[in-house]
Amino acid sequence: MKGKIIVSAISVILVVGVVIGVVTGVHKFGTGSGSDDAETLSPQMKAISSICAPTENKELCIRTLSSVAPNGTSDPKELIKAAIVATLDEVQKNFHFTQTLVVNASSAPAPYKMSVEDCRDLIQFAVDQLEATLSVVGDSDIHTINDRVADLQTWLSSVVAYQETCFDGLDDPALKSNVQGNMLDATRLTSNALTIVAGISNILSPFDLKLNIPNGNSRRLLAADGYPTWFSAADRKLLAKVDNRGIRPNAVVAKDGSGNFRSIQAALNAYPKNHRGRYIIYVKAGVYDEYITVTKDQTNVFLYGDGPRRTIITGHKSKVLSGYSTWQSSTFSAIGNGFLCKGVAFQNTAGYRGEQAVALRVQSDFSAFFNCRIDGYQDTLYVQTNRQFYRNCVISGTIDFIFGDSACVIQNSLIVVRKGGPNQFNTVTAQGRKEKDENTGIVIHNCRIVPEQKLFPERFRVESYLGRPWKQYAMTVVMESTIGDFIRPEGYTTWGVDDTCSYFEYANSGPGARFSGRVKWRNVRLISRNEAMRFTVGWFLQGGAWLRYTGFPYMLGLRY
């Protein structure tokens, strides 16, 4: 009862804040031409105009909220919900459009057909995320406003990423133009919804409401007893163990037949319908040459092996040699939320000739990897969407080998830059943030960035960079890490969006950490300790709420 009273009080404050904001600032965004317009607007239109004021597509925002919002309401919660509903409706139309494309492409060449099938599947993921977003907006039991913002921004950011991945996979120019044109309103509405959600704190701040941001302990993720909602009582005890002793798996995979299954995919296929709690798969030592997907319905899977040098999952799909899209080239794909992995290696052996060839693709929210290896060349680790954590891992590659649009922290890990093909350069990261209000980025914290042994003798002849901006608002942070001498003094190389991307560094060491030679782009800079705190596990991933129940080690803040 007390929680409901608090929520009601916040709603009243929000309404008052919106009305005050409109009365004082309605003319700033052009809702009328005369001095009496603010007085003639209805309370609902005042609220809608205020909510839409910071969006990039104001007219579309006002028009859609006016048609979707409950008649006469000026409740910000209902208007935010209406923004999500409008976006969902439009993205669902896009899904039906892509289904039609798939039907029409049944006799088309394989690459064309594959690209529209990928697009359809990606838009379905976008629909799923919007439905999850809508359910949270309508949840009257949300404990804090910050919980709402963190989750909603994450999921809406993933919708942006799925839309962009769809477009990126369309190599046929006419097809790409057609799809982008049909999805224009959907992408604009997604952008608007993201901006609206990101602006909630700005509405509340004048009223001195605390948002629980600094320690990142997002309490909405926890049940009443303080544990994450997806963990059973047995899970809490199980995953408190850092080692594997005493774990009783649901499935044992062994190449020699000594387990329940001979393949990892077979063990996943046995995932029980409507399963609750963790589904634990132990993979015995061996090389598993198979392509594996943890589907969206297979949530809370815990996969562990006998160590990354003994339990190895390998594949060789690539764009150039095999004809697969980047998205579909992955040896292992983790989609279902809550995926955990320990003591396993993921490989893509296509080599530098295969170009885009993913070893591990992750879109699982609240996913974590400990003591794993991820090895490839170009596009090794695709941190596609949602919140991801990597600890004590080895990640190797050449061009853009850590890329994607998730909120990702790689901590206490070894990042190995390999020797590629003739005339190839190396870029450790290629982050894909498309909208400025996304809460995504790649954070490399307390890691070592080194050349592999084959590259070492040629390390000054091969150009190696910390990253390049894949999308307009690319965000990458390297902090408290050791950077080898082979990293070029410029640090970063261009991909055409230099003015809007952000590359931050804090308290790094090693010869490659000298900042004086860095490129002179607007948002390439050293940051303060207070700024660096925003990119720690506790704040950036809300890690205090969920990582302690994985059994994996982690550091919520900075080293010093």
Give the model confidence (pLDDT) of 114-137 as tens digits.
999 999 999 999 999 999 888 887
pLDDT band at 26 (very low <50, low <70, confident <90, very high): very low
Token pair recorded at residue 378:
């170009």
In the predicted model, is pLDDT for residue 229 greater than 80?
Answer: no
225 is catalytic: no
pLDDT band at 233 (very low <50, low <70, confident <90, very high): low
In the predicted model, is pLDDT for residue 360 greater than 70?
Answer: yes
What pTM was computed for the model? 0.87
In the predicted model, is pLDDT for residue 245 greater than 50?
Answer: yes
CATH superfamily of 398-548: Single-stranded right-handed beta-helix, Pectin lyase-like (2.160.20.10)
What pLDDT sits at residue 235? 54
Percent of the chain with pLDDT over 70: 83
| Tokens 């885009």 belong to residue | 356
Token pair recorded at residue 325:
């899209």
What pLDDT sits at residue 199? 82
DSSP element (H, E) containing 130: helix 110-137
pLDDT digits (tens, 9 = 90+) for 507-539: 999 999 999 999 999 999 999 999 999 999 999
pLDDT digits (tens, 9 = 90+) for 300-309: 999 999 999 9
What pLDDT sits at residue 7? 39
Q: Which residues contact 335 (CB under 8 A, 6 or more apart)?
A: 293, 294, 295, 296, 298, 363, 364
Instruction: Provide the H-helix boundaries in 221-316.
Output: 233-238, 264-269
Look at the domain 2-213 and name its fold.
Butyryl-CoA Dehydrogenase, subunit A; domain 3 (1.20.140)
What pLDDT sits at residue 215? 42
What pLDDT sits at residue 24? 37
pLDDT band at 219 (very low <50, low <70, confident <90, very high): very low
Q: Which of 20-34, 44-58, 68-82 has the lowest mean pLDDT?
A: 20-34
> Sign of the C-alpha dihedral, residues 246, 251, 256, 257?
positive
CATH 1.20.140.40 occupies which residues in the chain?
A: 2-213
What pLDDT sits at residue 191? 96
CATH number for the domain formed by residue range(s) 231-383: 2.160.20.10
- Name residue 225's beta-bridge partners: none
Q: Which of 13-22, 43-52, 156-165, 548-557 has the lowest mean pLDDT?
A: 13-22
**Using an 8 Å Cβ cutoff, are 161 and 439 in contact?**
no
208 is catalytic: no
What pLDDT sits at residue 216? 43
The packing angle between helices 58-68 and 184-198, to 10°, is: 90
Average pLDDT value over all residues in the chain: 86
Q: Which of 82-86, 347-351, 356-360 has the lowest mean pLDDT?
A: 82-86
Q: Please pick, among 75, 147, 400, 498, the residue that the annotation labels catalytic.
A: 400
Does residue 13 or residue 106 have the better pLDDT?
A: 106
Q: Please pick, among 75, 185, 379, 405, the residue that the annotation labels catalytic.
A: 379
CATH 2.160.20.10 occupies which residues in the chain?
A: 231-383, 398-548
DSSP element (H, E) containing 162: helix 145-168
Tally Cβ neighbours within 10 Å of residue 59. 12
pLDDT band at 36 (very low <50, low <70, confident <90, very high): very low
